[in-house]
Amino acid sequence: MMKWVLLLLALFGASPTASFTLVKSVRFSRCLRAAATDCPLPGTAKLDVDWKDLGFEFRPTKSHLKLEYKDGAWGKPELVSEPYIKLHIGATALHYGQACFEGLKAFAHEDNSVHMFRPDENAKRLKSSCERTMMPVVPPELFLEAAREVVKDNMAYVPPYGSNGAMYLRPLMFGSGPRIGLQPADEYTFLIMVLPVGDYYKDGLAPIPALVIEDYDRAAPRGVGNVKVAGNYVADLLPNMEGKKKGFPIGLYLDSSTQSTIEEFSTSNFIGINKKEKKYVTPKSSSVLPSITNKSLMDLAKDGGWKVEQREIPIKELETFEEVIACGTAVVVTPIGKVVKGDDIYNFGDGKTVGETTMELYTRMRKIQNGEEEDKFGWNVQVC
C-alpha cells in the first residue's frame, strides 16, 4: 500500500511533507524530467524518524561509492550497498593514520531538484589533504562525478524541501595497502558515504558556551591543522569530551606556540562580529582548516557591506565582539553565548538570543542552499 502511495507521490511531484495544493508548473515539469531521466524524487525513502526530526547521526541509505587506487591508477567507481569494507590488517590508515576526509551537503529545492553546495571546494581541499599525507589525488572532475552519482543513487534519502534537513556527503580517503615500515601505501581507497541529516545541535540554533582548551593543542604551526586529516580529530577527542563533561558543548583552541591568539573551534572556524565597526573578523593561521562555510559567509558579509578581516586575533579582542560564531558545514553557524578561559568570561549578547548578524548570515546562506534566493555566487551544483 505504502509503495503505491509513494509511487503516486513521485508521479505528482510531491514529497511526503510537501504541500499538494501549491504544485507549481516548474515543479511539475521537473517531475516529468525526473521520471524521464530515471532520477528519483528526494524524500521518498522510509526512515525510522520523520524527516523534520533528523539529527546528525549515522543512518543507513541505499549505497556508498567506492573507488580504488591500485598499480598507480584509479579504477572504476562502484556503488556498494553493504556498509562494510574488507581491509588488509597492514593498511597504513590503521597503523599510521594515512587518512583524510571531507564533509559537504546536498539540498532539495522546492521543484524537487537536488543541489550540492560548493563540491568543487571540497575537491580542492581533499587534494591538499592528500598531498600533505602522500596519498594520490582524486582528480576534481572524478570527485564531482562520484559525488553526483552517489547522491543520485540515494536520491530517495535526500530530505525533502521544507524539512530543514540535507543529505550529508562524507568523502573518505585512506591508505588501504599494507606497510610495516613508515612509508606511504601502494593502494588507496576512496569512499563517499551519504546520509540524511537534520540539525547538528538538537536544540537548533541557540547560543552555547565555549571553553578555551588550555591543557591541549589541536595543531602545530607547521603541522597538519590546515588539512582535514583523521589524526586531527582523534587529537581533539579527549579535550572535547573533557569540555563536555564540564558543561561546554564546544571547545576553542588558541595558537599552540604562544597561547595568545584565537585559532578555531574543534570542528568549526571562529568568527567575531564587531558591530560598532561593522567588521567580520576571522583568524588567519597556518594551522586552521580553511572552512568552506567561512569562505562563503565572508562573501555574504562583504556583499552585505561588512568589512572582512582575516588576521591574527588576540584573545583579549573577544571583548570587542558583540557576536561570536562557530561555522561549518554541519551547522552553518552556531552562535556562541560566552567564551570561558579559566576565570575570564567573555559574554556575547544575553547568552540566550541569537545575534542579529548571525541570524542574517545564517538565513541568507540557508536560502541560497534551499534555492529560495538567487545563487548569485554560483555555489549550487545540480545533481538532478
CA distances from 193 to 2, 49, 151, 355 (A): 27, 20, 9, 34
Pairing between β-strand 250-254 and β-strand 208-212 as defined by DSSP bridges: parallel
Q: Write the CB contacts of 141 (distance below 8 Å, at least 6 apart in sequence).
A: none
Q: Which of 255, 263, 264, 323 binds ligand PLP (CB under 6 A)?
A: 264
Pairing between β-strand 269-274 and β-strand 279-283 as defined by DSSP bridges: antiparallel
C-alpha cell at 80: 556498494
Q: Whose Cβ is closer to ligand PLP: residue 217's or residue 264's?
A: 264
287 close to 225: Cβ distance less than 8 angstroms: yes
Q: How far apart are CA 336 and CA 355, in angstroms?
A: 9
**Is 39 a residue that touches ligand PLP (CB under 6 A)?**
no
Q: How many CA atoms lie within 13 A of 194 on its CB side?
A: 29
Q: Name residue 157's amino acid.
A: Y
Q: Whose Cβ is closer to ligand PLP: residue 329's or residue 358's?
A: 329
Count of residues engaged in binding ligand PLP, rule: CB under 6 A: 12
C-alpha cell at 88: 588488509
Q: Whose Cβ is closer to ligand PLP: residue 17's or residue 256's?
A: 256
Q: How far is the CB of 338 from ligand PLP (least distance, A)?
A: 21
Q: Name residue 197's amino acid.
A: V
C-alpha cell at 163: 524539512
292 close to 340: Cβ distance less than 8 angstroms: no
Q: Whose Cβ is closer to ligand PLP: residue 69's or residue 379's?
A: 379
Q: How far is the CB of 323 from ligand PLP (least distance, A)?
A: 18
Q: How far is the CB of 71 from ligand PLP (least distance, A)?
A: 32
Q: How far is the CB of 225 from ligand PLP (least distance, A)?
A: 8
Site for ligand PLP in 296-355 (CB under 6 A): 328-329
Q: Whose Cβ is closer to ligand PLP: residue 110's or residue 264's?
A: 264
Q: Which of 293, 334, 369, 380 binds ligand PLP (CB under 6 A)?
A: 293
Name the residues annotated as catalytic: 228
Buried b (16+ CB within 10 A) or exposed e, 93-109: bbebbbbbbbbbbbbbb
Site for ligand PLP in 271-290 (CB under 6 A): 289
Angle, helices 119-132 vs 292-303, to 10°: value is 140
Site for ligand PLP in 85-124 (CB under 6 A): 103
Q: Which of 291, 358, 369, 380 binds ligand PLP (CB under 6 A)?
A: 291
The angle subtended at Cα 332 by Cα 131 and Cα 364, nearest 5°, is 120
Q: Whose Cβ is closer to ligand PLP: residue 178's or residue 290's?
A: 290
Q: How far is the CB of 131 from ligand PLP (least distance, A)?
A: 18
Q: Which of 113, 267, 282, 287 binds ligand PLP (CB under 6 A)?
A: 267
**How is residue 356 annotated by DSSP?**
H
Q: How far is the CB of 171 from ligand PLP (least distance, A)?
A: 11
Interface residues with ligand PLP (CB under 6 A) are: 103, 264, 267-269, 289, 291-294, 328-329
